[in-house]
Amino acid sequence: MGRVISATLARGLLALLIVVALGPILWTVLGAFKELRDIVTPVPKLLFEPTLDNFATILRNPTIRDGLLHSGVVVSVSVLIGAVLGIPAAHALARHAQRFGDDVQFFVLSLRFMPPVAIAIPFIVIYLDLGIYDTLFGLILVYLITTISTVIWLSVPAFERVPRDIEEAAAMEGCSPFEVFWRFSLPVAAPSLFGAIVFTFVLVWNELLLALTLAAQNATLPVVAASITSLGKEVPWGVINAATVVLVIPPLVFIGLLMGLLNTSVQSGRK
């Protein structure tokens, strides 16, 4: 009897936890389809007449549209460069660099310790002096620190998981180091590498401080969203909710992938 009660209690608690995890997001999604008068009620409303006005407002707003476009360009270019440069470097570190490999890896990791303000403040002056302040190029350049280092950091273990024998067997058949990398290591490690790229994408897509500091007119979506609060006199909660939803969608698309990455890295991490 006691077992049944405690089991039921535990189930209830878990259901509550799922609500805590997902509730805030669902509530925001609901809010995005509400008119302001349905939001500003003393008793929260679950039933209301849905409206697309909020989304229309965002998509008609040129600042938000530009923000979306800038985010798209900056994030995709910096992640692409990060992957193109970072993945071969990670393979070289995982397989070929014995003496200096550890030091290089620690250097790459230490870039992740670096507080973003410590990057932002010198760069704003340097960018102003060079005339690349408030340009997409400038943002991409500074994001390369994040993308290259994160791609390397996550890809080194992915390449270490590729069985060394396979690479040696390929070398026995006459493949050069580049061919071994391109035709064997890369396809075998591909699923984990894809996860690494997605993780990097999410990091850069979500970044606020550097974009806020180093750009003004050409800012990315998080900066634009962060500044919505001051549109007009009233706080436009519906619009804020809708902007949040737009901001949230791209990272959430990849949730299944992240889960897969987690499973493989957890399992291989504890051999």
Partner 1 sequence: MTRKIFVRLALVPAISILATLALVSIAGAIWFALMNRTLRSPEYEFVGAYNFLRLLRDSRFFNALEISALWELITVTGTLGLAVLLSVLIYETVQKPLWRNVICFAFLVPVLLPRVAAAFIWRFMYSPSLGVINYLCGLVGIGPVEFLADPSLALISVAVVDIWQWGLFFTVIVLKLMETLPRDPIEAAMLDNARRWEIHAYVTLPMLKGPLVSLALVKAVESLRSFDLIFVMTGGGPGKATETLDLYAYQMGINMGGRISYASAMSLLLLVVTTIAFTVIWKAGKKWAA
Partner 2 sequence: MANITCSNIVKSYGAFPVIDGLDLSIPDHEFVVFLGPSGCGKSTMLRMIAGLEEVTGGRIEIGGTDVTDMPPGDRGVAMVFQSYALYPHMSVADNITFGLRRQGVSRSEIAPRLEQVADMLGLSPYLDRRPKNLSGGQQQRVAMARAMIKTPKVFLFDEPLSNLDAKLREKLRTEIRKMHLQLKTTTIFVTHDQLEAMTIADRIVLMRDGEIEQMGTPDEIFERPASHFVADFIGTPAMNFIDATIEAGHVARAGSIALSLSPELFPGLVPGQKVELGLRPASMDLAAPDAPNAIGGTVVLVENMGAEGQVITQVDGAEISFVTPQFRQVRAGETVHFALRPDQIHIFDPETGRSLRGV
Least separation in angstroms between CB 269 and partner 1: 7
Least separation in angstroms between CB 39 and partner 1: 6
**Which of partner 2, partner 1, none binds 174 (CB below 5-8 Å, type-dependent)?**
partner 2
What string of H, E and C letters represents the secondary structure of 129-187?
Answer: HHCCCCCHHHHHHHHHHHHHHHHHHHHHHHHHCCCHHHHHHHHHCCCCHHHHHHHHHHH
Least separation in angstroms between CB 155 and partner 2: 18
**Which of partner 2, partner 1, none binds 166 (CB below 5-8 Å, type-dependent)?**
partner 2
Residues in contact with partner 2 by CB under 8 A are: 163, 165-166, 168-176, 184, 187-188
**Which of partner 2, partner 1, none binds 28 (CB below 5-8 Å, type-dependent)?**
partner 1
- What single letter denotes the amino acid at residue 133? Y
Residue 44 or 50: which CB sits closer to partner 1? Answer: 44
Tokens of 152: 């390397």
Cα→Cα distances 123→2, 130, 148, 204, Å:
63, 10, 18, 17
- What single letter denotes the amino acid at residue 80? L
Burial class (CB in 10 A: 0-12, 13-18, 19+), 116: middle
Which residue shows structure tokens 């737009």? 246
Residue 127 or 159: which CB sits closer to partner 2? Answer: 159
Least separation in angstroms between CB 248 and partner 1: 5
Residue 110 or 268: which CB sits closer to partner 2? Answer: 268
- Residue 18 has a CB neighbour count (10 Å cut-off) of 9
Rounded Cα distance, 75 and 172, in Å:
40
Evaluated on CA atoms 212, 218, 224, 230, the torsion sign reads: positive
Least separation in angstroms between CB 217 and partner 2: 47
Least separation in angstroms between CB 62 and partner 1: 20
**Which of partner 1, partner 2, none binds 188 (CB below 5-8 Å, type-dependent)?**
partner 2
**Which of partner 2, partner 1, none binds 149 (CB below 5-8 Å, type-dependent)?**
partner 1
**Which of partner 1, partner 2, none binds 184 (CB below 5-8 Å, type-dependent)?**
partner 2
